[in-house]
Amino acid sequence: MPLPFLQVDAFTSQPFAGNPAAVVVLDRAADEPWMQQVAAEMNLAETAFLVPRANRESDGYDLRWFTPTIEVDLCGHATLASAHALWQRGDLPEQAVARFHTRSGLLTATRLGDWIELDFPATLVHAVDAPPELLDALGTSASYIGRSKFDYLVEIDSEAGVRALTPNYARLRTLAVRGVIVTSRATTKEWDFVSRFFAPGSGIDEDPVTGSAHCALTPYWSQKLGKTTFTARQMSPRGGTLKTELAGDRVKLRGQAVTVLRGEIV
């Protein structure tokens, strides 16, 4: 039987912006090689696969995320897209909390009007002496270099510098991390900080909007700016806006989502 899927643009209120993700809702768990093949065929930053538990409203769904080349442990935009898809399809009532069982533990999504709030674990960053090829590949200098369990985090001196980056993706691909977050304090008054995210080693040269990166960016900027709530902008060509909040060892990520495509896997 054909298997329906949705393609959702996450962290945007307009189609053809934000970060696209494919969402596939399965009746039962699928073979990992097949999911990887589907994700490669979709050729999006992530494809999300959902399997309902016994009681989908109270027990939730098992959720896995695949890039075109690998399975990842945490993905914000595809989780946002998954919650949006479940409400759009009528799998969950709009007032129900979406509960996802993942490699990173239980994640939840709650509908707040036109926005969706994700509850994710905070990701801590510690200062490191980065390999010389990191800054060479980015083509910039840095005021801070840190590393989380997933990524390097590089702070540079200006929003304009973040926007202007043209990395050497082949050199970034040699780094033994999921990706590289580059960030600065914002000069545009609507935002607190800006960022871009590069992950060629994970099959994505530049990710348009990266929810999981903001699990590190939020506590990082909280310590620097002395506040816990932020409006953040990821400055990829597609671009996206997030509202974030540090709540103890958790980060609340708020974004919007738009369905742009419905199809079938035959």
Report pLDDT for 1.
Answer: 83
Cα separation, 95 vs 112, in Å, equals 9
pLDDT of residue 57: 87
Q: Spell out a b/e string for 85-105, using b for 16 or more CB atoms within 10 Å of the CB, else e.
A: bbbbeebbeeebebbbbbebe
Q: pLDDT under 50 in the chain at which residues? A: none
Structure tokens at 79: 């989780």
Helix (H, G, I), strand (E, B) or coil at 103: coil
Specify which residues 107 forms β-bridges with: 100
pLDDT value at position 113? 94
Give the global pTM.
0.93
Quote the CA–CA distance of 163 and 183 in Å, as a whole number: 10
Give the pLDDT confidence score for residue 224 in this predicted structure.
Answer: 97
Query: Alpha-carbon Rg of the chain, whole angstroms?
Result: 18
Query: Tokens 């189609």 identify what position?
Result: 15
Contact 9, 241 (CB under 8 A): no
pLDDT in tens, 214-243: 999 999 999 999 999 999 999 999 999 999
Q: Which residues are catalytic?
A: 46
Specify the DSSP class assigned to residue 42.
H
